[in-house]
Amino acid sequence: MKKKLISCLFSAIIVPTLALGTAVIADDRDDVDPFSEHRTGGQPTGDQHIEEQRAGMVGRPAGAFYIDNVIGKTLKHRESDEDVGEIEDLLIGEDGRIIGIVVTTGTFLGLGGQDVGLSWDRIVHILEDDEPVFYTDVDEESLRNSPEFVRD
């Protein structure tokens, strides 16, 4: 009976001490991060990810716009301010940035237009009365004579 009591006391004292010691050792190892870039492919790591979840976005940042404020908008010629087409789609690169747009050239009663791809660096966007307005230096005639955009 005395041996059982000593064994229980020993277990009650030693096991928590070993567990706490292991936690302290693991906590001191800052160089080991289970959420490192190697595992997540560049995604936010441990504490950084938690902090971003807490912060969140409460609204649209200044100068930003929504996709539905782009698709369906008229593309205008920068110098003449004339409509040259309607933005039909956005092309997003692997890095998540806009790399181009698909524009439908002017139509007459819904006929005669074609889809044309334009690089995003050919587009200038500004906010007028908190609404994005899109301009290009390419005129309507040049767009109509451009090769048709082919979707994959």
Digit-coded pLDDT (tens) for 1-25: 555 545 544 455 554 544 444 444 4
Among candidate residues 109, 108, 119, 106, the one with its CA nearest the CA of residue 145:
106
- What are the tens digits of pLDDT across the range 108-120? 555 667 899 999 9
Average pLDDT over residues 132-144: 89
The pLDDT value recorded for residue 138 is 92
Average pLDDT over residues 103-107: 81
Largest CA distance in the chain: 101
Q: What is the three-class DSSP state of 119? A: strand
CA distance 116 to 101: 8
- Structure letter (DSSP) for residue 111: B
Token representation of residue 132: 């994005």
